Amino acid sequence: MTEMLISTEPATGETLWTGAIGDADAEVSAARAAWAGWASKPLTVRVETLRRFANVVRQQKDKFADLIARETGKPLWEAATEVDAVVNKVDISISAYSERTAQRKQEGALGARVAVRHKPHGVLAVLGPYNFPAHLPNGHIVPALIAGNAVVFKPSEKTPAVGEFLVKLFHDAGVPEGVVRCLIGGPDQGRTLASHPGIDGLLFTGSARAGMALHRQFADCPQKILALELGGNNPLVVWDAPDVHAAAVIAVQSAFLSAGQRCTAARRLIVKDGAHEAILGEVGKIAERLIVDAPHSTPAPFMGPVIDNPSADQLQEAFLDLMMKGGRPLKHLDRHENDKPFLSPAIIDVTDVQERADVELFGPILQVIRVPDFDAALAEAGATRFGLAASLVGGSPQLYDKFWANIRAGVVNWNKPTNGAPSNAPFGGVGLSGNHRPSAYYAADYCAYPVTSSEADNARASIGVGLRDVRIAANELEG
């Protein structure tokens, strides 16, 4: 009997999609069989194929956005921006490949040449997340294909319909079916794919816990590339902000976009003790006005539900745990329907909570921490094993310079939200947030490896030192 995977809409609980769980061996074998043919095609052919993919996605934008909204629960307007990001990734990746992996030649000794070119790794596995089920895996797949790799993509078990549809669009654009494969399944299929001897690397976006497990697993596989894009316990410091309302808007956007289900979302709001009431009051007012509703509702919601009921349960338990440890709720985490994962944006002052857990609460919970001075704010911002995003709102250029120099993160912003990183720049973190393999514009770096060649039109060689005189050698032979 075929085992099936079922996807439901978070906003309604209704079944959206049903599909058969796939076989990792079969998908990797298909990719391996197709890889050489794809890699041998001229770069111009691969680029043109990916440009057709962008056009196909444009033509299917409304259908694609509707599917993303239904399967993730995010507002339709936000799902539409995700489709735009899928389209834009193509041109960005083409430019990045040209810049990051360009062929270079220079003159060497004795008329020789030194050439640097890049080769694809082979078959790359891509494990995608549920929060951006099209944009984030697409950010791995497109540069991998441009470089000449074949891909086996396993979408999150929570968003398989979007993953399957994304792969179909690649095929519709003319990418050979064997070159991009879709493996439907849950954690077991993901583990099987990650450990498969037939892959040459793994590109992963997901939780820090899963990333650490993959890092340990790949320790015995130095021949395989591993690129990890993980989460964050991201700080947002508001300090002497002249425009309190603008600062509050940035805080709300940072914390609650996508129902807080962004790896770059602000988890900790750090403010000056004694001067905090104005900013917290304004953040609370704006958060109270945020519309939380189903993706297609009118008026359009700011945020939808979190991905599923188990996730909502865990967030409620985490909020209650913070309260029991001394946290003071400024805005409670409300759930109006117990059988659906709609959560209101929540704000809790955790200044007096001892030994705060350094974890990523992947949802609409903003923790407030009051500190006496800016040095304490820097220390609090850096008190994390993660290192993905951080932002300073307010302050002078000199203060921002100090902030930038002392924050260990891959994304450091000033008077901007922690989230919404541009795709035409590198994206990634340090610490538990990644393994120094930034994606976005720098994805080209891990999709191909450099090959250095010393080349000459004719063979010329001599040994000038360490040889016996030819006459002595001849006499010894005669003797």
Structure pTM?
0.95
272 pLDDT band, cuts 50/70/90, is: very high
Lowest mean pLDDT among 63-77, 147-161, 426-440, 459-473: 459-473
Closest by alpha carbon to 200, among 222, 185, 228? 222
What is the per-residue pLDDT across 345-354, written as a single tens digit (0 to 9) for each?
A: 999 999 999 9
Q: What percent of the chain has pLDDT over 70?
A: 98
Q: Which pLDDT value is given to residue 40?
A: 98
- Give catalytic residues, as residue numbers: 229, 263
**Alpha helix locations (H) across 16-123?**
24-39, 43-59, 61-72, 76-100
Contact residues for 266 (Cβ-Cβ < 8 A; gap 6+): 234, 235, 236, 251, 254, 255, 366, 389, 391, 417, 418, 419
pLDDT digits (tens, 9 = 90+) for 229-250: 999 999 999 999 999 999 999 9
Question: Given pLDDT bands bounded at 50, 70 and 90, which one contains residue 56?
Answer: very high
pLDDT at position 474: 64
Model confidence pLDDT, tens digit, residues 160-199: 999 999 999 999 999 999 999 999 999 999 999 999 999 9
> What share of the chain in percent tops pLDDT 90?
91
Structure tokens at 28: 């990797």
State how far Cα 101 lies from the chain centre: 21
Across the chain, what does the average pLDDT equal? 96
Nearest to 83, CA basis, from 108, 100, 66 = 66
Confidence class of residue 269 from pLDDT cuts 50, 70 and 90? very high
What is the pLDDT at residue 479?
A: 61
Q: What is residue 458's predicted lDDT score, i.e. its pLDDT?
A: 86
pLDDT tens-digit series, residues 253-263: 999 999 999 99
Token output for 170 = 């690649």
Q: Which run of H or of E encompasses 400?
A: helix 397-406
Which tokens in the block code for residue 419? 């989230």
Query: CA dist 367 to 118, 140, 281, 332, 353, Å?
Result: 45, 32, 14, 12, 11
pLDDT at 368: 98
| 358-364 average pLDDT score | 98
- What pLDDT does residue 476 have? 66
Minimal CA–CA distance to 385: which of 295, 305, 267?
Answer: 267
The whole-number average pLDDT for the span 295-299 is 98
Lowest-confidence segment of 323-327, 330-334, 352-356 by average pLDDT? 352-356
Coil vs helix vs strand at 17: strand
Q: Say what the pLDDT of residue 473 is.
A: 61
464: exposed, middle or buried (Cβ count in 10 Å: 0-12, 13-18, 19+): exposed
Place of tokens 């002595």: 472
Q: Minimal CA–CA distance to 14: which of 213, 294, 256?
A: 294
